[in-house]
Amino acid sequence: MPNKWVEHVKQYAKKHNLSYGCAVSDPGCKSSYHAGKDVPPLETPMRTSRVIKATPPKTGPTTAEKEMIDKFVEDAIKDIYYEEFPDFMKGTVSREKLYKDKFLTLSKKKQDELRNRVRQRVITQLRKTN
């Protein structure tokens, strides 16, 4: 069975919304034990053993934004190849055909490089508008 001091500290801590450790070190707890009456505690925050970690805000685009950016990048690449095509022949070839014939025939590495360059420009433009 705990002694009277421990019981007093537990009751004091509960009554004043303090942890046991804060209540033990509170001068009001000691004086109320000796005086037989309760004294308001000092202004000390309640200590907790649990540490709450703040989650950092998301800095990158969401999944939906990534999909939108990827679609925009592919459309931009189609436009790039279509704009480079001679004007007098534009009526004979679609953007899709140029994309398949010119872009998709490049090596995977070249495709990725071009996509990354266009993606960086798109992201830069989006940041400027926001």
Q: Among 11-20, 34-43, 68-77, which range has the highest average pLDDT?
A: 11-20
pLDDT at 45: 56
The token duo for 11 is 């009751």
In sequence order, which residues have a C-beta less than 8 Å from that of residue 97 and are 6 or more positions away? none
- Between 26 and 127, whose confidence is greater? 26
Domain boundaries, given as residue ranges, for the chain: 1-48, 63-129
How long is the chain? 130
Residue 58: pLDDT band by 50, 70, 90 thresholds?
low
List C-alpha distances in Å: 8 to 12, 14, 18: 6, 10, 13
* 114 pLDDT higher than 80: yes
Report the alpha-carbon distance of residue 48 to residue 59 in Å, rounded.
31
> What rounded mean pLDDT belongs to the chain?
78
pLDDT at 76: 83
Residue 9: pLDDT band by 50, 70, 90 thresholds?
confident
pLDDT digits (tens, 9 = 90+) for 14-34: 888 888 888 888 888 888 887
How would DSSP label each residue in 8-50? Answer: HHHHHHHHTT--HHHHHH-HHHHHHHHHTS--PPPS-PPP-SP
Q: Model pTM greater than 0.85?
A: no
